Structure 1
Amino acid sequence: MRRIIFFLVPFLLLTGGCKKWLDVNKNIDAPDHIDGYLYLAGILQQYQGIYWDVRAVGPLTQMMGASGDYATYAGHNFIPGSDAAAEAWRIVYWNQGMNLENMINQSIAAEDWTLAGIGYAIKAFSWDLMTKLNVDAPMKQAFVAGLLAHDYDYQKDIYPQIREWAYKAIELLEKPDPHDYGAKISANDFIYGGNKAKWIKFAYAVIVRNLSSLSNKTNFAADYAQELITAAGKSFQSSDDDATLKIAGGSQQAPYAEFNNYWGTARGNLSWTYFQHEYAVQVLTGTVPEYDEATGNKTSLVGNPYYPYKLAAKQIITDTLSNVAGHYDPRMAVKLGTTSNPNFLNLGNADSVKAYKYYGGSFTGTAGPIGTAPSYYGRNNVSQFSGAVNDGIGRWIYRDNAPYILTTCAEIQFCLAEAYWKLGQTSQAFEAFKSGVKSDMDFTGKYIYPGTSGSPTGGDKLTTAVFNSLSALYLQGPFVAGVTDFSLSHIMMQKWVALYPWGAPEAWVDMRKYHYDIAYSGAYPAKGNGWTTAIISQKWDTDPAKVYKGLYLAPAQVQSRKGSYATKNEGAPCYRLRPRYNSEYMWNLKSLGALKPIPGTADNYHTSIPWFAYPGELPN
């Protein structure tokens, strides 16, 4: 080291010092300037973090059961002193964070309107995701340099800002842009390849999603519904518009494991730690049971181990009359895992596919009410990608090279249907509902990856042709085009199915705004009015006002739901995820503790109802 200094000093003296020759940057850790387009690829790849948070939100929506640490969220609690379930927070403030701010600001300065517009669309989407999960958050002071603490903004102020960013994105994307980007944007845009028209539709989709979460507020019809309807008309019109993030894949040969989808077999995240919840199986297979309203128990039947309980007379998605044309919903054979047909025989035979059996687990274990929930790949075993029997690269969107799903046309159409329903425009709601189911069928069939006949090495257990044939019948059947008792439940439960399981965050939004179908009086539930420290009172499925038929929370005192929440909950279900521990609880505790009505430092902060779920404004 002394020798290096010895030779460096005379060199600096001869050249007039280091300032002229060596200070190419003011930042000693990184370059001061990076061309805007170079940020784009890394910013978009951070959306894999959504699937990380689904580990917590999937169990909260009863889409998934979970073992290990994330079983805590199945019990509507949180893991103290941990960054678990804070990935959306991390995306907004760090992973995208200043990278996204720099991309937007530099692009505006350079009059690169296309890139700036894409940046604002991304920003709106990410903040919408984060505030729906974490609710209140620092916004105005988020990226103010030099601050050691950041004041929180309430969700009621964050929401309109999100829409403002989305409209700014549209304005910039519609602005004439004479710049020839060549492949600079298209090669780094893993969603739309630089297609401005699709990014504009995406920005409108963010507006729709944002407003849809307000649909149970008392002023929705007057203040938000028409804006939603207008935005939906300019947003996605078919599954070809879906926002999906392409990834490289490569399985074990990929240079980095992260080149593969988070849910693929190569990364081992789904494995058998997360599994389909019994409620998901009941909804998708039309086997929601009937509960005795006097005892809360199911009615046992004798003679059929697969249907050992009396089923509810009213099934919303499908029923068990699979041999009657239009009754079978083929999405169950794609979205759910099954141990049926382990050797992948007769994948092109509809009758064979319709005979598959499905089992769901409990909140925290694979053992369910009538059998064992398999892995999402379809075996009662942990994920394996080699050997005589294995899961290969996975299947459907649980596959190494499957894209990440951000939002779809189906979701937007169901948001539109709900808005029309709230306005009393039933016929328009029904048309949007049918369009939503059709779009989800298109989305679902698009990612089918059939296995190899006779080879137990992974893949989907049906062909695309069989799926399309069965879906055409279903769309014309009694659960879609032939619905005679159309209701809000049809809209919201079909939306839940369309979001399964990638869209668990938005499904959780819907469940919270309808307060988990808790039975309460007045404007919103509270301790002593919907729950006590021991039990939750929920609407029975026979109640026309109940939205999610068959949904009962863990302390609802029906069969297999006769538990209670942790004492920290004080009887309440979870309504928000906590912000990231290593930023807020370590460095911003005073600001977090100032939140109302429940401080962020309280043991039950995660039960604090979000602004979007209050019919009016926040209580004092």
Structure 2
Amino acid sequence: MKKLLYIIIATLSMSMVSSCKKYVDINTNPNAPTSVDAASLLPPIEAGMERGVWYDSRYISQYAQMWGASTANNVWDQEGYIPGSDSGGEMWRTVYFSLGQNVTLMIQDATANNKYEYLGVAYALRAWGWQTGGDLYDHMIVKEAFDPSRLTFDYDAPEVVYAEVIKDCRLALQYFNQATKTDGITGQSATLAKGDYMYYGDRSKWIKFIYSIMATNALHLSNKATFSADSVVKYVDLSFASNADNASVQNTASGSTDANFWGPTRGNLASFRQSDNIVRLLDGRILAGTANQDTLADPRLPLLLMQSKDKAYRGVIPPLGDPNSADANTLIPQFVGMSATNGVKPKYLFNDASRGVLMTYPVLQFMKSEALYKKGDISGALLAYIKGVTAALDFVSNPPIGTALTGVTNYISPTAITNYLNGPSVKHSTATLQLSDILQQKFIACFLWNPLEAWADERRYQYSATVFQGFTKPGTLYPDNAGKQVYVVRPRYNSEYIWNVPALQSFGATAPDYHTTKPWFILP
């Protein structure tokens, strides 16, 4: 098929050259620039990053059991997928379209004009795309990805994808180093700030973001013989020092198009309900070992979740939906953002002006804790774990809500935070700390904004009920699963299953149960 397409195009091209050579070159679009300033490319690229995570989070959160559908037997709650649909393919679109040639154009402009800091950003964005996409899709197109002469593309092995992450991160660091050598700037750069709505030109924070990608890459290979806990620790220590370094993208909330995806204006959560898993993690039943929503509950509970009218917190168990939907007193409410007007404080990241979060300090601390735990350094693991829990509470108390809500702070009282940290939900000794404590506190810290990382953790541990005590295997799995649980997302339908089928067949991606294939990164 590939050869036939090339023959047809060659024939058409030859006839057009003979009859139309006096006309404009068809390969040049007179309405589109052939050179674009890097600063003008960065804002839409950053917006595309959060869009990719947001859109696919709706479905990945169902796989991870952060939330579920309000109605029974939703295919995603059954760990299935929708054939012939792009649902679950937004990150694919992000890597190859939202970033794609836009990053290539940024590299071209930055190379031609010695904009080393923009080269650093460009390769950091590439690395982030490969890491995020590789975690979801396993096989990806790397070597041929941005070759404009091709109509079909061959896939690369997953290990190539993960190696490309580190390669691009190192290139990014080299270019930032070159930028500093050139102008002596280590922090805020006025030229980089022109297009940067994530760090506003702060080179030091971009470098920390790069190390966060490298830490993620190293941790996700935890089942490999080559896994290095020391590498995870090293990269985390070089990354975020506090929540002030968190990676997030600005949303101005001037209208629905630039409002936070999870806010009330866009209304993207109407069909979802909080999971029984997250309710039990927050109300004390799992971490404290006692069902008492009043005295042992996590102080984040009322900020992250919604109460039924009878004041109880309930969650859906997939794929059953809300069994109380007919009872107005006990039905599970939909997620909803709260307005900042009239003195009402917004809840967590549900406000229209909340920033699109990509990575946080507490999640990195939990990565470090897990790595040290696996290494056998339980004292170090406990210290990083406590830092993670403390910072996760701080993140909810003072989320990156944006300029529209400046000054709105202290959702959780210092007393409540202290009581929780000293209570039974948080482990205080090396004798009591378990891997499940680290991973489940990390799950809470990822709530809403990072189900992709939470799902990566669950897959690395094969959905272990020992590690993820609140996770319940769906009572009914999608028919094509053949009784197996989901492990990968299928590539985007409208690009791959329409135009690139032979390449998909080369690694079995056209099989009805392909989504149950265990990805390379979790295998020994």
With the length of structure 2 as denominator, give the TM-score of the two structures. Answer: 0.86
Q: What is the aligned counterpart of 1:594 among 506, 511, 514?
A: 506
Q: What is the aligned counterpart of 1:421 among 364, 370, 373?
A: 373
Distance 2:419 2:166 in 1: 39
Q: What is the aligned counterpart of 1:96 among 95, 99, 105?
A: 99
- The residue aligned with 2:19 is none
Distance 1:70 1:113 in 2: 51
Q: Deviations over 1:553-597 (max 9, x none)?
A: 01xxxxxxxx332331111111011111111000000000001xx
The answer as to 2:165 corresponding to 1:165 is no
- The residue aligned with 2:199 is 192
The 1:109–1:488 alpha-carbon spacing in structure 2 relative to 1, beyond 3 Å, is same
The 1:320–1:105 alpha-carbon spacing in structure 2 relative to 1, beyond 3 Å, is same
The 1:474–1:403 alpha-carbon spacing in structure 2 relative to 1, beyond 3 Å, is same
- The residue aligned with 2:332 is 373
The answer as to 2:138 corresponding to 1:135 is yes
Distance 1:182 1:569 in 2: 51
Q: What is the aligned counterpart of 1:482 among 423, 428, 439?
A: 428
Q: CA deviation at 1:53?
A: 0.2
- The residue aligned with 2:263 is 264
The 1:29–1:591 alpha-carbon spacing in structure 2 relative to 1, beyond 3 Å, is farther
- Give 1:283's aligned amino acid: L
The answer as to 2:121 corresponding to 1:83 is no
Distance 1:502 1:190 in 2: 18
Moved more, 471-480 or 32-41: 471-480
Equivalent residues of 1:65, 1:275 under 8 A apart: yes
For residue 74 of structure 1, give the secondary structure of its aligned residue in structure 2.
Answer: coil
For residue 82 of structure 2, give the secondary structure of its aligned residue in structure 1.
Answer: coil
Q: CA deviation at 1:188?
A: 1.8
- Give 2:514's aligned amino acid: Y
The 1:142–1:495 alpha-carbon spacing in structure 2 relative to 1, beyond 3 Å, is same
Equivalent residues of 2:309, 2:330 under 8 A apart: no
Moved more, 490-499 or 185-194: 185-194
The answer as to 2:517 corresponding to 1:571 is no
Q: CA deviation at 1:318?
A: 6.9
- Give 2:333's aligned amino acid: P
Equivalent residues of 2:127, 2:166 under 8 A apart: yes
- Give 1:402's aligned amino acid: S
The answer as to 2:59 corresponding to 1:56 is yes
More relative contact order, 1 or 2 (CA 8 Å, 6+ apart): 2
- The residue aligned with 2:183 is 178
Q: What is the aligned counterpart of 2:397 among 432, 442, 445?
A: 445
For residue 463 of structure 2, give the secondary structure of its aligned residue in structure 1.
Answer: helix
The 1:431–1:283 alpha-carbon spacing in structure 2 relative to 1, beyond 3 Å, is same
The 1:491–1:240 alpha-carbon spacing in structure 2 relative to 1, beyond 3 Å, is same
- The residue aligned with 1:3 is none
Distance 1:467 1:339 in 2: 24
* Structure holding more helix per residue: 2
Q: CA deviation at 1:178?
A: 2.9
Equivalent residues of 2:354, 2:400 under 8 A apart: no
- The residue aligned with 2:28 is 26
Q: Deviations over 1:429-451 (max 9, x none)?
A: 111111111111111111398xx
Q: CA deviation at 1:184?
A: 4.3
Distance 1:274 1:242 in 2: 27
- The residue aligned with 2:8 is none
- The residue aligned with 1:278 is 276
Q: CA deviation at 1:268?
A: 1.4
Identity %: 31
Q: CA deviation at 1:476?
A: 2.9
Q: CA deviation at 1:144?
A: 1.3
Distance 1:421 1:173 in 2: 33
Larger Rg: 1
Distance 1:173 1:362 in 2: 47
Distance 1:160 1:601 in 2: 25
The answer as to 2:405 corresponding to 1:434 is no
- The residue aligned with 2:230 is 226
Moved more, 402-411 or 369-378: 369-378
Q: What is the aligned counterpart of 1:608 among 511, 517, 522?
A: 517
Distance 1:31 1:410 in 2: 42
Distance 2:411 2:139 in 1: 46
Distance 2:172 2:490 in 1: 29
Equivalent residues of 1:247, 1:403 under 8 A apart: yes
The 1:99–1:267 alpha-carbon spacing in structure 2 relative to 1, beyond 3 Å, is same
Distance 1:466 1:582 in 2: 45
Q: CA deviation at 1:70?
A: 9.9
The 1:153–1:177 alpha-carbon spacing in structure 2 relative to 1, beyond 3 Å, is same
Distance 2:365 2:144 in 1: 35
Q: What is the aligned counterpart of 2:287 among 305, 316, 340?
A: 316
Q: CA deviation at 1:28?
A: 3.3
Q: CA deviation at 1:201?
A: 0.3
- The residue aligned with 1:241 is 245
Distance 1:157 1:448 in 2: 35
The 1:569–1:420 alpha-carbon spacing in structure 2 relative to 1, beyond 3 Å, is same
Q: Deviations over 1:377-396 (max 9, x none)?
A: 28xxxx9x8xxxx9x99632
- The residue aligned with 2:419 is 473
Q: Deviations over 1:474-501 (max 9, x none)?
A: 1233333535511101111111111112
Distance 2:409 2:233 in 1: 36
Q: CA deviation at 1:151?
A: 0.5
What number of residue pairs does the alignment pair up? 487
Q: Deviations over 1:383-440 (max 9, x none)?
A: 9x8xxxx9x9963211111001101001111111111111111101111111111111
- Give 1:242's aligned amino acid: N
Distance 1:359 1:131 in 2: 34
Q: CA deviation at 1:88?
A: 0.3
- The residue aligned with 1:550 is 470
Equivalent residues of 1:266, 1:393 under 8 A apart: no
- Give 2:200's aligned amino acid: G
Distance 1:151 1:477 in 2: 54
For residue 406 of structure 1, give the secondary structure of its aligned residue in structure 2.
Answer: strand
Equivalent residues of 2:72, 2:322 under 8 A apart: no
Distance 1:153 1:610 in 2: 13
Moved more, 104-113 or 77-86: 104-113
- The residue aligned with 1:148 is 151
Distance 2:73 2:358 in 1: 22
For residue 68 of structure 2, give the secondary structure of its aligned residue in structure 1.
Answer: strand
Gaps (5+ residues) in structure 1?
Answer: 1-17, 288-314, 342-355, 450-458, 518-538, 540-545, 555-562, 616-620
Distance 1:151 1:569 in 2: 26
Equivalent residues of 1:38, 1:188 under 8 A apart: yes
Q: CA deviation at 1:137?
A: 0.9
